[in-house]
Amino acid sequence: MPDFSLFGDEHVRQYEATGGKVGHDWNGTSCLILRVKGRKTGKLRKYPLIYGRDGEDWVLVASKGGAPENPGWYDNLVANPDCEIQVWDEVIPVVASTGSAEDKKRVWPAMTAQWPDYDKYQAGTPREIPVVLLRRR
């Protein structure tokens, strides 16, 4: 049974305070902290997100639990692709791009191996769930 006691702002707080010792490994998967400028406010927003790797890139899935709309963090990345991630205690400047259909086909199996519910989320929504590739700047 997943443990969701570490979630949202508290997940971010503990991850940052411990250099990822608390929060990187979460419910059998790996998380990073995405730091991106809000598209409406311009304020820094932080999100704990499951990630994978594709060569040198980091991969995110904009699932929002299979909701009919994209998560806010994804819309923020589209508006402000220059952002940062924290992986363990390293803060890395990256640029985000939405993966192509070919990218998704390539990375989806690895991402569903990390979080099997991604397949359920995709099956339950009419939108094509985007994958995001983050490349070091």
pLDDT at residue 3, rounded to an integer: 76
Confidence of residue 1 (pLDDT cuts 50, 70, 90): low
Q: How many domains does the chain have?
A: 1
Query: Rounded CA gap, 87 and 30, in Å?
Result: 9
Tell me which residue range forms the domain holding 74: 8-136
- Could you read off the pLDDT of 30-75 as tens digits, one per residue? 999 999 999 999 999 999 999 999 999 999 999 999 999 999 999 9
pLDDT at residue 4, rounded to an integer: 77
Backbone angles phi, psi at 78, to 5 degrees: -60, -40
- Mean pLDDT (whole number) for 114-134: 97
- Could you read off the pLDDT of 75-100 as tens digits, one per residue? 999 999 999 999 999 999 999 999 99
Confidence of residue 5 (pLDDT cuts 50, 70, 90): confident
> For residues 89 and 20, is the Cβ–Cβ distance under 8 A?
yes
3 lies in a domain?
A: no
N residues, the chain: 137
63 lies in a domain?
A: yes
The CATH number linked to 95 is 2.30.110.10
1 lies in a domain?
A: no
Helix-, strand-, coil-residue percentages of the chain, each rounded to 5: 30, 35, 35
